[in-house]
Amino acid sequence: MAPSGHLTRATGVGLVVANMVGAGVFLSAGFMAQDLGPAAILASWGIGIVGTLLGVHAYGALAHEIGRSGGEYRYLSDTVHPSLGFLSGWASLLVGFSAAIAVDALAIGVLAQQLWLGAPDPRLLGTGVLVALTALHAARYSVSDAGQNALVAVKLMLVGGFLAVGLGVGEHAWPTWTPPNPGKSGELRTWLANQYWITFAFSGWNAAIYAAGEFRDPKRDVPWAMGVGSGLVAVLYLLINWVFVANLTPTAAQAVFAHDDTQVHLGHVVMTELVGPVGGQLTSAAMILVFLSAMSAMTLVGPRVYASMAEDGVLPRALAAREGHPPLGSVVLQSAVAGVLLWSHTLLESMQSVGGILMIFGGLTAMSVVRLPTAPLTARVAGAVYAAWMLLLLAVGVTASTKLLLTLGAVLGVGAVAYALAARS
């Protein structure tokens, strides 16, 4: 069992920030700039912020009522049915956390290969980073917490430095470029489809719920950490995207389309434009640490879901935590799945899969707040609106991508079989 009270409010905010700020925000604008202009891109991020805050409010009511670790698995099991909770935890393992970790691992490998001649294959290096973080978070809680807090502090300093240069040296006039596909910018479907990238970039706003039982006062600290962390990241995202749209043309933003093989992130492109090649190289080196922090945070919180499932008897007992130690079996299992996805999926495929899973179970969990008799009316309304928003985005995504529909169907189908076997045993 995990010791209660070893996580502080500050650590909770750090977990939220670290989970959210990863490869997503440094790639999304490149995809969006092909169909949307500067004003539309910034407005889309504003819509994403509103949606995220609705989810935060609904989840906050659930955290205040339940106050236990396990995230969506715990909330759906307690408020709806254990089978739905199991599917949520299963999806987190196969896609939710594991695929997001694979995205950041691949980003680290690509950046390192471009920075240093002779660097190993990006997927090989990403695997090495994954193994190192697995060792860190399989150690004692004190080691895991200290390592994560240090990475969060470094991340905030580096992102702050990027913004200082971008806002100080970059363009301040309103950008006048138009997207390559301007006709699509007026279509509702285009706006909704581009919310996929924003949803992926905002994933992690609920990070504190996965280790809720390890906070000093879960019912107070977890909602606070989600609200403060998400608000801080919302401001950072708007500023980062202003730097992108003010200093990049759609042609330069196409960098993201070759990211798996040859291309750097948009931060590198912007800094190269503003301060020269050395600035771009330094930015890419800094982004390695930013992505490392995101990987670390997900390696820390994700296994708490599977450990909770093991403690409830729906996953093997070997995945549960021992007294005073992180859940070693769950940490190793999640990293192994992330490693498989790292070698078998492209960055774009992983981002789409994560977005789809988040929409399904994030919407269901937010909606489940209506089943809490003590939940305030504002939380119930927020949960219902957030669920409807996620359902709309998911419908757009699956109609546009047959592969996404097949992936989600496979994950849920295998999860249903696994639950039936667990229930029988």
Spatial separation of the C-alpha atoms in residues 36 and 202, rounded to whole Å: 19
Higher pLDDT, 405 or 43: 43
CB atoms within 10 A of CB 176: 7
pLDDT of res. 260? 47
Which residues, 6 or more positions from 8, have their beta carbon under 8 angstroms from its beta carbon? 215, 216, 221
| pLDDT(237) > 70 | yes
Cα 287 to chain centroid distance, Å, stands at 16
Kindly report the pTM of this predicted structure.
Answer: 0.82
3-state secondary structure of 326: coil
Rg of the chain over all Cα atoms, to the nearest angstrom: 20
Higher pLDDT, 405 or 278: 278
What residue has token string 């401001």?
235
Segments making up each domain of the chain, as ranges: 9-424
Q: What is the pLDDT confidence band of residue 261, given thresholds at 50, 70 and 90?
A: very low
In tens, the pLDDT along 67-77 reads 888 889 999 99
In tens, the pLDDT along 282-309 reads 888 888 888 888 888 888 888 888 888 8
In tens, the pLDDT along 2-38 reads 555 677 888 888 888 888 887 678 878 888 888 888 9
Higher pLDDT, 358 or 65: 65
In tens, the pLDDT along 146-196 reads 666 777 777 788 888 889 998 998 888 998 888 887 777 677 888 888 887
Helix ranges restricted to H, 260-346? 266-275, 277-311, 328-344
Question: How far from 371 is each of 79, 166, 281, CA to CA, in Å?
Answer: 6, 46, 51
Burial pattern 374-385, b for ≥16 Cβ within 10 A else e, equals: ebeeebbebbbb
Please name the amino acid found at residue 32: M
Which superfamily is assigned to 9-424 in CATH? Answer: Amino acid/polyamine transporter I (1.20.1740.10)
Query: Could you write out the DSSP letters of every residue in 182-217?
Result: GGGGG-HHHHHHHHHHHHHHHTTTTGGGGGGGGBSS
The partner residues of 283 in beta bridges, in order of sequence, read: none
